[in-house]
Structure 1
Amino acid sequence: MSLFLNLASQGLINGAVYALIAIGLAMVFGLLRILHIAHAGLFALGGYLGLVVTNATGSFAFGLVVSMVIVAACGVLMYRLCYEPILEQPPYVPLIASVGMFLAIEELLRLVFGDHGLSYHVPPLAGAVDLGGMRIKYAEIAVVVVACMLLGGLALFATRTRVGMAWRASVSEPRMAASCGVSLRQVRYLNFAIGSAFAAAAGVMVGVLNNLVEPSMGAVPSYKALAIIVLGGLGNMGGTLLAALLLGLIEAFGATYFSNYLDRDSIAFAAMLCVLLVRPEGLFSGASGKPGLLARKLQLTGAAKWVLTKRPS
């Protein structure tokens, strides 16, 4: 029983990290139908920024916030300079550009910080607590708390605010949302800012868990995030969250019971292949509401001025 609880807790901790990484990827794909591979580069950049700022100031919370803000700005800039000019091109063109940006970020981090990675001078959130016979690190508790706060805040934003409603409408019915006066350009900026900030938070938390950040730290999360959004049904936000938690549990138990057959990082793709054989559309695919409902509601109630323009872009 103790082993089961330990594996379950470790799986949920890993799932929380995967959810932070994959949710931004799902947001971009849901809005633009682009596989945003460079998202993994922003994840690594966030880890470095969090570590550097924390080492310089001694405040982990400040490092986390600064990392999220800077990486959010970088995500918006990446969209503006690299994606926006090629949105009308075939899907493989943005994909190639995204892979190129990921490699560029990785090499830039290697040039600036070196090949061997960096560690915290004084590891934050050190120590552990005993809960029901399980020894859980403070850093692991912090991962779950940060993930719950960010994902809960995103859910409230998307369902309780007019800006969030406009954002959701532009994902489900972009043409109708645009006809209601929503600026799709600003919605896309918002999309990249939120997704990139979540990637930064994930990078910082992984850096704290391992007490190490390195240029290639985004390589493995990039394909695991891809597996997660496929399992969750491409572009399905709720499905992505559930798939992330499910993958974390599968990895935790699989690495213990099937270590003679598959290593930990192979389990993600093995799970994805098994699901696709049974449900090619993913585990949690399907419409989440009536088509155009959000856009029609937006037209009746009006959206925040921040996302409205006289002429939709």
Structure 2
Amino acid sequence: MANQNSDCQSCSEKDKGTCDPKSCSGIQKLPQSKGNNIKQVIAVMSGKGGVGKSSISSLLATSLAKQGHKVGILDADITGPSIPKMFGINDRPVSNGEALLPIWSKRLNIKIMSLNLLIDNEDDPVIWRGPILSGAVKQFWTDVAWGDLDYMIVDLPPGTGDVPLTVMQSIPLTGVVIVSSPQDLANMIVRKAIKLVAMEKVPIIGLVENMSGVICPHCGEKIDIFGESKAEQAARLADIPLLKVLPIDPKLSKLCDQGEVEKYDQVFDDLKPFLKTGKVG
């Protein structure tokens, strides 16, 4: 039966006859490149910076890799890339003649592509406007030889600007993980991110509250530096699952600074109950 939703006229599923008029956004998704077989794509998003979004992206990737999955990270935070630093890699990607080859992490063979791997000095600023940033992210999807991946983690820049919008409209996402902290300000801003994801009709996998207090190494008491946890309330009000509540851990900070995040204990034991969609396009 022909789809009667006018939004479906430009979507990537129309010609296949598989478009769902209830969820179609009418946006043409970029296809996977020849030789790539990426099964699940999870974007990690925060309403504001400084809540540990890239740390959560790294922990998601390492947890999944430790479970035996083939994992890649697309670092879409073009102007503030930190993924290579956390994994201790600085090799420059090379081409196989058709596409760029991602760099493999040292311990878990996680495939990584980031702009910081392509510039001469990692501390050089990237002074690009929105359309160029968005174009670079699209190229990381279409022009990189990712090969077979069970999961791709997309580390988004903070906020609801050009790049997060481009990713949600151009890359076929399985879903989005939202990262926040206990502060009222962070929760107010994260609600903006949740509303954007809903407007783009992308599934929300769940909420992670990061920096939820710190455990005193001497007495074991929890100190709520940023206030009491609001994770359960925030997840309930947004009607999304609560994935994790993570305290500040100096061990994680040290490993990230040393480029050894892969040594950190597994955090996300099983995402399958939260993943309701199948293989991406």
So what's the TM-score if we normalise by structure 2? 0.27
Rg (Cα) greater in structure:
1
So what's the TM-score if we normalise by structure 1? 0.25
Structure with a larger share of its residues in helix: 1
> Structure with the greater relative contact order (CA < 8 A, sep ≥ 6): 1 or 2?
1
